[in-house]
């Protein structure tokens, strides 16, 4: 039974990363009529609506106080880290630094997850994980820059990218702590998105944001937003949270290495882009890094 659960956890993580890696296609289409913050807002709204439909809450007027905060603070923190801050940091970073820089720096998330897990959960950091991390990161750098190693540092954007990876690490550990007492992944994810959207609303006036509901009448825009909200957010956060619950935050986070690899394959199939020799070597290093990271011995 345990091996079956582990297999389902790995399949859930792989499915999630595959969907997340191809969201760039929908995002690219939506950026014609929507700003990055508007895409994030509608993505969160559609995700929360979908989760409310699939997992309706039992409505009761909450009694605010110590008991409420004791029961809800992890959900609040997970929503703040994994939804509000992660999406904001990543979107703002893309405005100040190169997309290649963001893709590389955000990919340090598995290492940060391992460090935060060691600090908060007492998990050991194994040598094989560090060796796999170095191999995978080398592959990710090769893919991101594709042999054009022109280093262009943008301090604000680069720092925000690392912060995005750091808050995702805290989110992963918080989800593991929550899932230890709450087995309903739809309930967990619904609460996380509720608080995430709640924390996003106050900052919207500070960004390029307008509601513009008339844009939802455009079928391609609506379908892409539904894919990002219902598929890539509501469903994929449920499957990712399940994987974290079964495998733990460190093993699950290793699948983040696959994002650039799946993106390249999607570009090949959908956009008819070719794979260069450098990218091919990078893909091989990523796969090698994943295998090494998952092994029990270095």
pLDDT of residue 297: 45
Residue-level pLDDT, tens digit, the chain, 298 residues: 457 778 899 999 999 998 988 887 788 788 888 888 898 899 999 999 999 998 887 765 555 566 667 778 899 999 999 999 998 888 788 777 666 667 677 778 888 888 888 888 777 777 777 787 788 778 777 776 665 555 555 677 778 888 988 999 999 999 988 875 555 888 889 999 999 999 999 989 888 888 989 999 999 999 999 999 999 999 999 999 999 988 888 889 888 888 777 777 776 776 666 667 777 787 788 778 777 766 654 4
* Contact present, 12 and 238 (Cβ < 8 Å): no
| pLDDT score for 13 | 92
pLDDT for res 201 = 93
Considering just the CA atoms, what is the radius of gyration of the chain in Å? 19
Predicted confidence at residue 76, as pLDDT, reads 93
Q: What are phi and psi of 188, to 5 degrees?
A: -60, -50
What pLDDT, on a 0 to 100 scale, did the predictor assign at position 181? 57
For residue 1, what pLDDT is reported?
A: 47
Tell me if 236 sits within 8 A of 16, measured CB to CB: yes
Closest CA to 33 of 229, 222, 270, 234: 222
User: 134, 100, 99: which is closest to 114 by C-alpha?
Assistant: 134
Q: Which pLDDT score is estimated for 77?
A: 94
Q: What is the pTM of this model?
A: 0.83
Of the chain, the end-to-end C-alpha distance in Å amounts to 27
Token pair listed for 218: 């455009």
Compute the distance between CA of residue 149 and CA of residue 170 in angstroms, rounded to an integer.
31
């Amino acid at each position: 039974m345990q091996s079956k659960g582990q297999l389902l956890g790995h399949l859930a993580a792989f499915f999630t990363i595959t969907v997340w890696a191809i969201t760039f296609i929908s995002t690219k289409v939506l950026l014609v009529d929507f700003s990055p913050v508007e895409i994030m807002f509608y993505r969160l709204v559609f995700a929360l609506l979908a989760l409310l439909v699939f997992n309706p809450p039992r409505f009761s007027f909450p009694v605010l106080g110590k008991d409420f905060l004791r029961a809800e603070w992890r959900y609040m923190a997970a929503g703040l880290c994994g939804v509000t801050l992660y999406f904001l940091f990543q979107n703002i970073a893309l405005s100040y630094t190169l997309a290649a820089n963001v893709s590389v720096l955000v990919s340090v998330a598995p290492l940060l997850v391992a460090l935060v897990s060691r600090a908060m959960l007492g998990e050991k950091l194994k040598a094989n994980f560090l060796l796999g991390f170095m191999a995978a990161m080398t592959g990710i750098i090769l893919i991101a820059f594709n042999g054009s190693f022109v280093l262009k540092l943008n301090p604000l954007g680069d720092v925000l990218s690392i912060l995005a990876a750091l808050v995702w690490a805290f989110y992963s550990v918080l989800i593991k702590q929550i899932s230890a007492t709450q087995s309903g992944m739809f309930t967990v994810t619904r609460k996380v998105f509720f608080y995430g959207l709640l924390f996003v609303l106050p900052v919207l006036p500070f960004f390029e944001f307008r509601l513009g509901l008339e844009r939802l009448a455009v079928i391609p825009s609506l379908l892409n937003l539904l894919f990002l909200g219902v598929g890539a957010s509501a469903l994929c956060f449920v499957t990712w949270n399940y994987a974290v619950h079964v495998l733990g935050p460190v093993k699950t986070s290793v699948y983040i290495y696959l994002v650039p690899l799946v993106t390249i394959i999607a570009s090949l199939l959908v956009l008819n882009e070719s794979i260069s020799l450098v990218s091919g070597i990078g893909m091989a290093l990523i796969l090698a890094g994943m295998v090494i990271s998952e092994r029990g011995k270095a």
